[in-house]
Amino acid sequence: MKRVFLNAFALAALALAVVSCDQKTTTEHASSTITKEAEAANKVAEENNPAATIANGKFEFTEDQFDFGTINEGDVVTHIFKFKNVGDGPLLITNARASCGCTLPEWPKEPIAVGQEGKITVKFNSKGKPNKQRKRISIYANTEPELSTLHITANVIPKKLEKAGPIK
């Protein structure tokens, strides 16, 4: 009796496995077909509606790093990074951040049209920043990739400490 029950159980499990595999194959095939149909529909939509594709701006910097050379601690120096939009659409800078509070980037808030030029002004305050300095400016815009990076460097000569005189 046990043997008949086990054989029946094994037969039922095998039948279930075959049906499950068959359903899985059918589901995968249907999913694959739907994906191919969706891709084809998207391609037709893009071809018939050029506005459906997103036009991005693209930076073309004249330089992406600048060395101020040797400066004295406490000097505030400025450099202008110039760029041109060589993308397919207007270039919009959404944010610019420096790696340190001693560096302040200023950027255009209005979109830069294709073919037009713009500038990012970077001010570096060397107060309390002696020796070799390297700062990164992260520019976020509607570009691919979204993040562009600029760098400034300077060799800051430390202030000389004033000699202490007699205490009165």
Q: Which of 144, 128, 24, 46 is nearest to 88 (CA)?
A: 144
Bridging pattern class, strands 65-72 and 147-157: parallel
Q: Which of 55, 135, 147, 136 is nearest to 95 (CA)?
A: 147
Question: pLDDT tens across 84-127, in order?
Answer: 999 999 999 999 999 999 999 999 999 999 999 999 999 999 99
Q: Is the pLDDT of residue 22 over 70?
A: no
Does this model's pTM top 0.75? My answer is no
> Hey, where are the domains in the chain?
2-52, 59-157
**CA dihedral in degrees (19, 21, 24, 28; nearest 10)?**
-130
Q: Is the pLDDT of residue 34 over 60?
A: no
168 vs 123: which has the higher pLDDT: 123
pLDDT (0 to 100) of residue 55: 85
Q: Which of 13, 123, 121, 142 is nearest to 76 (CA)?
A: 123
Distances (CA, A) of 87 to 11, 35, 95: 65, 31, 18
Q: Is the pLDDT of residue 9 over 50?
A: no
Give the DSSP letter string of 46-88: HHH-GGGSPP---EEES-SEEEEEEEETT-EEEEEEEEEE-SS
77 close to 123: Cβ distance less than 8 angstroms: yes
CB-based contacts of 13, cutoff 8 Å, min separation 6 = none
Say which CATH superfamily domain 59-157 falls into: Immunoglobulins (2.60.40.10)
